[in-house]
Each structure stands twice: as C-alpha cells, then as structure tokens.
Structure 1
C-alpha cells in the first residue's frame, strides 16, 4: 500500500522522477487507455494507481486498439513522419509509429495516432516505466480483475541446492580386493547445476506468452519433422514448403499410395501422423518470448475449436516460489472476427467468444511444457489468448502485439452510398509550442 501511494504521489508531481525507487513496480503495473473516454489509468493489479486525460488519434488517423508494451524510450524525439514534430518523453508502442508522448491534450481525439499525455504527467510517467511495461488500448473502458484457474501457470518451489550425496562414510557394495585407500569420483555441484536439482531461473525478466490457433507454418514444421524422422529428407523444419519438402511429401504419398496433387490434404496429414505414431494435429500453439526475442514454442490442445477463444490478457504478480503461488489478473478485450476470418479458422459463423475462464478450460497444456514455464515464471509475466496469429506489428525487437477491433471491418455488406457533398474544411489548428503534431 505504501509503495502504491508513493507512486500515485509521484505521478501527481512533475518534478518527482526517482526511477530507481519505483523500478520494481514497472514489471507489474500496467497502463490502460480508453479511447471513448479519452483517459488513461495506471493499475497495480486491480487497484487504480493514477488516472489522467489523454488525446488519441483523430478521424483518419485512429489509434489502434490492442495489447502493447513499451519497446523504446526517448526523453526527446522528433517524428520522422510528420515534419520532425517534437515528441518529448516518447515511449514507443509499435515500430510503425505509435507511441505515448507529451503533447496538447484537448477533450477530444486530435493526434495522428499517438497517445498524447499532459506535460507534467508524461515526464513523471517516463521516469517510472521501463521497456516491456504493458499498455492496453481499448475503445470502451476495461479494467483488470483477479482470476484463479488451474490452467494458469504457477512457479515451482526451488529444490535444495546441496549436493545429492552427503558427507557420510561411503560403503562399497562390492568386496574390496585391497586394503589400500582408493578414491571415489563425485560430481562437483558448483559446476554442474543439473546435479543440484535447482530450478531457480537464471533470468528473472518476465515471460511474454501467446496462445493462438495453429496456422499453416506450424503444421508445415510438424510435417517436415515427421518426414525427416521417417527417412524422407524434407529439409530443416522451418515451416516453409520448399523444393525438399515438396519432394519428401511426394515420396511419402507414393509410399502410402496416396493421390498426388495438393500438398497438405487431410488424407495426407492423417496418414503422416499415424505413421509417426502421433495423434491428429494439435489445434493451438503456445509461443514464449523474453527480452523481446523468441524463447521457444510448442503445440497444445484446444477443445471445441469451432468456438472463438476471444481475446484475453493475463498478468502475473507476487510470484512466490517458496509457496508456489502467484496472483493473476485478466483483461478481456472486444475483438470481432469477420466472416472471412471465421471461415479461414474453421470457426462457427454464429458462435460467441469464450469468457476468460472458459477459454482457459479449453486448453490442454502438456505437463512438461507447464513445468518448463513454471521454472521461468517471474513477476510481470503475461499470457495473451487470442484466435488470430502474430499480426503485422509483432516482429524483431517486440513482445507479442495483439491488435483488436470492437467493430468488424465488413465491406461485403456495406450499402451503396451517394456521392458525398462537399463540406467546408475547418481551418487547421496550429499550436504555438509545436508539441503534439504526431
């Protein structure tokens, strides 16, 4: 409570910039922006730390909605898109040009897509955040809520760090052939951590996790690995159907007397999985990043794949390995899918998205994968569950960026419109301080 009060007081003062004092908060705090309310709220768990007015993108330059994190911070930055417009205390959310920064904040959307903050607030917030800090942008206001569920990851208790063998007198199980002393080889636990059983993570940087539906890339990677195991040279499992992969698929089809033609038919996939001693292809994929770089990924099961998962964002705090406990909070964001998207993902056209709890119920996460994540879980770790894939903003040097929309972009049902009448343009407003042009 004391640290939360201190942080709130710091945000109210533009001169209080003691970043080290609040560094521990940056992992677990998150920013939530409401475009409808033109407001920003900083949360510590489910508790409000601070609020402020903001100005988001105007018509034609809308601020994207979704789940972001701070990728880069610069105390002073100039826009490379809009005539070198000043962007003090810039905190970048996408490499395509969306950021938090100081600027003019009227009571309406006025930016070119960025989120403008009042000057004093922008300066203080800049001093209290760090790269990786979560930022959620939504149309209607949303707020994190506590959640407890068996499928949410929990940390594992550290095993004793002492050597596996004690210093008691050793008793050989074979009869000694000599009375002379002899040596017994023992592993040095200081150089071989696997012998201590310790599972303490070497890096306490938060994990960023994403669960999504599997796409062609993951299926092709599986196919390549299974073909290689069966003796067909499909090349490295990179998810790309190149010349080697095509030749290996053709060879397998000849072996199984399957018709040639389209590469990844249902008959081919079923035969390949059976020949490899595996079940049908899993429906979902778990991807893990840390320090803005991929760490690992693995397939997981998904029950009732014809039902939308929805878009849910979970964050972990108070991670305690001693008691194997952690507190989780969740935000659910509206994210409508178009008819074409539902058809592409084999989702029922009329099924409603799952709640956060129901989405977790539908996941089948292997025990070895769960244990691996449990050994790495740290304060500020996050999990996004969504139907769609990585999206265009997720790339090198980012966390998982999930773009959402509360209104589906459906062009096929748009009625014909008359030619618009010419409307007199309002004179462009110019700000003397030159701030907030982005």
Structure 2
C-alpha cells in the first residue's frame, strides 16, 4: 500500500503548473532496470528514465547567480530521508540524495519558478518522496544545460557479456581456519568463498582454463573470445590474478629493500657533506661582515687623520700669524718709552703665548702619530679579514666539490631505487585492483575513456579494478561526452545486452583547423575528424584484446560506458563512481 502511494500520480496545483512545469509519475520503473535521472538546468526540469523510457518528470529549482549547479555525469552517493545542511544554518533538506561529496544533492525544497538554490537541485516535496523510493545508491544522474534523453542504441563496438556458464570448478567449500591466510592475498579467502570459489579451487580452475586451446568463438565487442570462456571462469582467473600479483609484490619488496638500504647509506654521506658545506657557508657571511667592518674602520681612521691634518694646517697658520704678531710687538716694545715694568709684563705674556703654541704643536704631533697608527692598524685588520674570507671561499669550494661527487654517486643509486619503487608501486596497484576486481565482480561496471589522458579505467563498487592505455584516432579533435548504459539482457542467453545512449555535447563538427605551414599529413587528417557523435566516439577508440576481454567479462545490466574529452572530475574518489564534468 505504501509503495503504491509512493508511485501515485502527483497532481500539481494550478499556480505550480503556471510556473513552468508539472509533476507526473507515469509508471513504476521496470523491475531490475537501471534508472537514469536527467536534469536540465535551462528548462529547470528533471526526468527519470528506465529501459522502457520515461518514468517520471518534475519541475525543479536549481542554482542561481553565484551558486551554479555543476553539470556532468554523477551517481547517487548517499540517501537520507531526513537531512540538514551543514553549510547553510541547518536548513532542512528532506529526501536528500547526494551526487557530490562537496555538497550538491537532490532534495525537497521551495520552487519559486526560477533558479533559487545554492547549487542543489530542489524538488517538489511529494515528488522527492517518490523519487527517493525509486532510486538506490549508484543511480546515475546526468546534469546538463539542455534536456537529453537516453535513446535505444546499437553499435558493433558496444560490448556483449560472457555467458554465465556452468560451474567448471569444485563445489563451494566452507572456509576453514587458516585457509584465508594461505592465500597470497590476506583476507581474500572469504571473498572467494562468498562467490562460491575458494582460493585453491579458483587457482586450479584458472590453470585449467589457461591450458585450454583457444576456440574460434564469436566476436564479442570486436574481440575474439575463447569458446569455453564464461563468467565463472573469469571469476577463477581473478583469484589467480590475486595470487600472481601477491607473489610479484614479495619479489619487488626484496629488490626495493636492497635499493633503499643502498640509497640510505649514500644519502647519509651526502647529508654529512651538505652539513659541512652548510657550516662553511654560514661562517662566510660573518667573515664578510668582519671585512666590511674593517673597511669602515679604515674609512673612519682615514677620515679622522685627514680631518686632524686639515685642522692642524689651519691651526699652524694661526700660530704663525700669532708668532708674527708677537715679533712685531717685540720690535715695537724695543723702541718704546713705556715703563720697564710694563715692557717686562708684555714680554712675559708673549713668552707664555709662545710656550703655549709650542705645547700645542707637540700635542698635535703626538695626536697625528696616534691617528696614523690607528689608520695602519685598520689596514692590517682589513688585510687579515680579507684573507680569512678568501680562505673560507676555498673551504666552501672544496666542500661543494665533495657534495657534487657524492651527489653524482647518488644518481645511479637513485635510478635503481626509483626503478624498484615504481615496480613495487605498480605491483601493489595491480594487487589492489586484482582484489577489488574479485570482490566487486558481481556488480555493474563503469568503463570510462578520457581523450585527455588517453586512458581507460574501470570501476566497480566505487573501486578501480582495471586501467589501461587506449589509442584515440584524431587525438586532438573533440570526441564529445557520451554515456552508454546497458539496460538489460536481450534474451535468455544473458550475453547480448540492450543499450541506451546519451550525448551531452553538440554533435556539430568543429571548425576546420588551420593547416600547418609545412602542410603535414597530421594537420590535414585532423581536419577530416568526424563529428563527435556517439557512434563515431566508439569507432575512434582502439584498445588491446586484453582490455576488451576484461570489459566483456564485467558487462551486465546496469554497466555503463562513458566517453569524454575530459578526465575524471576531482570529485571522483572514495565512495564514488566515475564523475565526469565536461566543459560547457
């Protein structure tokens, strides 16, 4: 009864209808069919599709100036019937369905008839309850400026699935104590057992599969498939891949440890040489400051000596003038008729003045000698300070040479270490992907190809399970953003899949590029690049047979194939599927 009410038709109020849309639940989604939610920001409208077409639609209110809603390909990451904003004053966000961890979600809210949110996608309250009941974690949400609808799509480059097959491995065995530890991947015994395969049985089955001759089976996704290969066999291969990658890690760890010890020893010597050089360099500024101080002391001593000499030159002139005046007075007194007492007194005064001048001359000579000594001492101090600076420069040069020698020695060691580290990191990444591939094997897969990175990535259950390079023809020409969704098996064979496709970018061809001056064939070829349509995007991707086989074994209803010019959004991370935000 409650489920029926959740999918009842929602009749809009007249005022709401006049505000540019209506809310309608057309039917219940088909059982087992993946849903796709499409949001048009331009039309302020949301539509829900399943494998049979439109399921529901509603007006929305999303974004406003300064708070735009991001466009792109998302999935529902979190669902809460009752939720409150941690950014906007605990504002209620009923029936919240998060599509980014940075804060964008679908939720119930006021719809004034125009964009009025902080970036979230507001829904009518009744419709938000119905939509909440329809969706599950992982439901894909496409936010675009224009409304796009998933259309049935067939193309020879789209992948089929492996047949389920019959168990070609021993029956499931209940895990026993210590069994998981005996696996090369600790803790993976339980994962294998949950899938009906123990590690030992899986490895044995994988060896039997590998030993079989290749058949001339059908082309699946443009890749030759061994006639006997099934999903059960692929599961066994994934366990074998875990064991192989775990063994590879052990070997790489030993090589890495040896390289790490060697680099630590050389680094120790390099650090010691650098510390010696650092100490020498730190001492140099102090020595240079001492030399600069000695220069200033010379300037001061020289200035004092010159000032004193100039002062004494002027004083000697005054002394000579006074002596000449005293001589004139003496001659005048010799012919004077003044009393002898007066003449004697005047003579005594002249003698005293002469003696004072003589004393000043003696004192000036001593002062000049002292100033000259200070000047010569300052010159000596400068020469000594400059010699210390020169010697320190030599010490620094020798220590720099030592550092360079050890650093040169370290280059080869670092290359060996980097090679070992990269090999170990690659082995660890392969092992993690192998574990994730087995753990998430039964879940739908998202395959993402980026023209920007030239890389294909597969995620299942929010984990990366495979990555490989791909080649894209016309690599500098736009390929567009396209989402292909496997909606259901076409028949009981459970191999052929029905697909829907959406193109988020215009399919009009780009303007021809200006030819290079040298008229290169590459430039001319780029001008012939096809329009970025869904079919052409598939045809421009070239991948290895191994990559095709890995994709084929993971295909099932709910899987998706996304192609874009851009790389994965920075929003892609822990507990997210591939998020793509193409440029508008």
Quickly name the TM-score band, shorter chain normalised. Answer: 0.5 to 0.7
TM-score (norm 2): 0.46
Three-state SS of the structure 2 residue aligned to 1:402 is: coil
Task: Report how far residue 199 of structure 1 moved.
Answer: 2.9
Q: Which residues of 2 match residues 144-163 of structure 1 at below 5 A?
A: 144-162=150-168
Answer yes or no: is the 8 Å Cα contact 2:76–2:138 preserved in 1. yes
Aligned length in residues: 304
Structure 1 pair 348–388 and aligned structure 2 pair: CA distance change class (3 A): farther
Q: Which residues of 2 match residues 417-432 of structure 1 at below 5 A?
A: none
Three-state SS of the structure 1 residue aligned to 2:415 is: helix
1 CA distance for matches of 2:42 and 2:132? 24
Q: Which residue of 2 aligns with 1:368?
A: 546
Answer yes or no: is the 8 Å Cα contact 2:106–2:122 preserved in 1. yes
Q: Which residues of 2 match residues 42-53 of structure 1 at below 5 A?
A: 42-45=48-51, 47-53=53-59
Picking from 490, 493, 498, the partner of 1:327 is 498
Structure 1 pair 246–296 and aligned structure 2 pair: CA distance change class (3 A): farther
Matched, 1:248 2:415: yes
Q: Which residues of 2 match residues 6-155 of structure 1 at below 5 A?
A: 10=7, 12=9, 24-25=31-32, 28-45=34-51, 47-155=53-161
Task: Report how far residue 250 of structure 1 moved.
Answer: 12
Which one has the bigger strand percentage?
Answer: 1
Gaps of 5+ in 1: 1-5, 15-20, 165-187, 205-227, 237-242, 253-281, 337-341, 407-438
1 CA distance for matches of 2:31 and 2:233? 18
Structure 1 pair 199–403 and aligned structure 2 pair: CA distance change class (3 A): same
Stretch moving more, 326-335 or 73-82: 326-335
Task: Report how far residue 351 of structure 1 moved.
Answer: 7.0
Matched, 1:380 2:558: yes
1 CA distance for matches of 2:582 and 2:536? 20
Three-state SS of the structure 1 residue aligned to 2:486 is: strand
Task: Report how far residue 324 of structure 1 moved.
Answer: 2.0
Task: Report how far residue 34 of structure 1 moved.
Answer: 0.7
Task: Report how far residue 191 of structure 1 moved.
Answer: 8.6
Stretches of 4+ moved more than 2 A in 1?
6-9, 11-14, 21-25, 158-164, 188-204, 243-252, 346-353
Matched, 1:308 2:478: yes
1 CA distance for matches of 2:563 and 2:205? 34
Structure 1 pair 123–62 and aligned structure 2 pair: CA distance change class (3 A): same
Picking from 182, 189, 199, the partner of 2:230 is 199
Answer yes or no: is the 8 Å Cα contact 1:65–1:137 preserved in 2. yes
Three-state SS of the structure 2 residue aligned to 1:12 is: coil
Answer yes or no: is the 8 Å Cα contact 2:169–2:205 preserved in 1. no
Answer yes or no: is the 8 Å Cα contact 1:317–1:328 preserved in 2. yes
Structure 1 pair 397–323 and aligned structure 2 pair: CA distance change class (3 A): closer
1:208-231 deviation line (CA, Å, top 9, x unaligned): xxxxxxxxxxxxxxxxxxxx9xx9
Task: Report how far residue 353 of structure 1 moved.
Answer: 5.4
Q: Which residues of 2 match residues 342-361 of structure 1 at below 5 A?
A: 354-361=532-539
Which one has the bigger helix percentage?
Answer: 2
Q: Which residue of 1 aligns with 2:197?
A: none
Matched, 1:403 2:581: yes
